[in-house]
Amino acid sequence: MTLQPGDVIATGTPPGVGCFRKPEPLWLNSGDVVEVEIEGIGVLRNSVVDRIEDNDSSTEEEVKNEYTEQQATVTKGPPPSISGMGSEQLPKQQRLENTVCVVTGAARGIGNGIARRLALEGAVTVVLIDMNQDDLDEAASQLEQEVTEMMGDKGTSRPTFYGLACDVTNSEKVKDTMTYIAKALSTNGRIDVLVQAAGVVGKTNVLTHEVEEENFDFVMDVNVKGIFNGCKAVLPYMLEQNYGRIVNIASIAGKEGNAGMLAYSTSKAAVIGLTKTVGKEYALNGITCNAIAPAVIRTQMVADMPEKQVKYMTEKIPMKRCGTVEEIGALVAYVASEEAAFTTGFCFDATGGRSVY
């Protein structure tokens, strides 16, 4: 077969275009209308517009340079309007305004940082619970001074801090303490928020067959029975007011298990299970119960652990650092607020990405 100029050599080739003839280029001008018919959809019409206005004398190089200059002014880190954790600024929201909050394990560490954040979020009464009254008195005084200085003259009501010594493993003492808070310290008979951060690690770097029963029982008593006692004692008040927030501090060890920390890992797994159960049982009573599972947080308790154990845990964190007390406090403030009203029986991870593996 002999091909002649003008022959169609492929389906869709425009008439008059053959193997020896190039099609004339199709130039579109501003204002032209292009129509495309798509089967099953119909005809789509689009007007042609110029990429750069005719009266814009900027060259492509000038536009590129301007873009580069804009890039050079970008700052690293969070936007300037967002204050970092630990900055001397008040939270933008007062999510816990006029609430009565109780925090266990609050003389130092995570519990102390949580109490501070709840106060900055507008809590009117913050009760610190721990073992030693002298430590509590010092912590309450220091928190009151810090929070007052931060609030300055902004017109926000000042919270009142109280410190109450209580052994969380003693159910009767926990019950009496909650009664005293509701009847004597609370201005309205309410207990709105209970955050349970009291906990111990126990002996570490010990294989299961070498774990001492006494140490295992001690860790379980504080970390599990202590949280059970707190829930049991505070729930009657929350049921009466048809509202409450319980936040239990668990650990990523309770989800993954940490070698050499059998008692601690087991106890924190129990805390997560307890939290899920309480969350389901009181979901129709305006009461939520959630847990937070941190990875390694920079506290004195962590500082007292063997360096080998801390390194083992930190190396598993994609961010390659410990979390901060301020970061946990910010998360607790959200979970304890009205904003988290539709979340209960849930365990929030604060692990720097470790939990995604």
Q: Confirm whether 357 is a catalytic residue.
A: no
Query: What is the rounded CA–CA span in Å between residue 96 and residue 193?
Result: 9
Q: Which residues pair with 193 in a beta bridge?
A: 101, 245
The number of C-alpha atoms within 13 Å of 22 and in the hemisphere containing its C-beta is 3
What 8-state DSSP symbol labels residue 323? B
The helix/strand/coil state of 129 is: strand
Q: Identify the residue whose tokens are 């319980």.
A: 246
Residue indicated by tokens 């298990």: 257
Q: Hey, is 14 helix, strand or coil? A: coil
- Map residue 275 onto helix, strand or coil: helix
**Residue 81 carries which side chain, given as an amino acid letter?**
S
Alpha-helical runs (H) found in the chain: 60-72, 109-120, 133-151, 171-180, 213-220, 226-241, 253-256, 262-281, 300-303, 307-314, 325-335
The H-or-E segment that residue 288 falls in is: strand 287-294
Do 136 and 130 form a contact (C-beta atoms < 8 A)? yes
- Quick count: other Cβ atoms within 10 Å of Cβ 257? 14
- DSSP symbol at 261: B
The residue to which tokens 């919270």 are assigned: 159
- Dihedral of alpha carbons 344, 345, 349, 350, sign: positive
Residue 42 pairs in a beta bridge with 38
Q: Which of 206, 200, 205, 204 is nearest to 219 (CA)?
A: 200
- Active-site choice (237, 264, 312, 357): 264
Q: How would you classify residue 353: left for phi > 0, otherwise alpha for psi between -120 and 50, otherwise beta? A: left
Question: Which residues belong to the active site?
Answer: 264
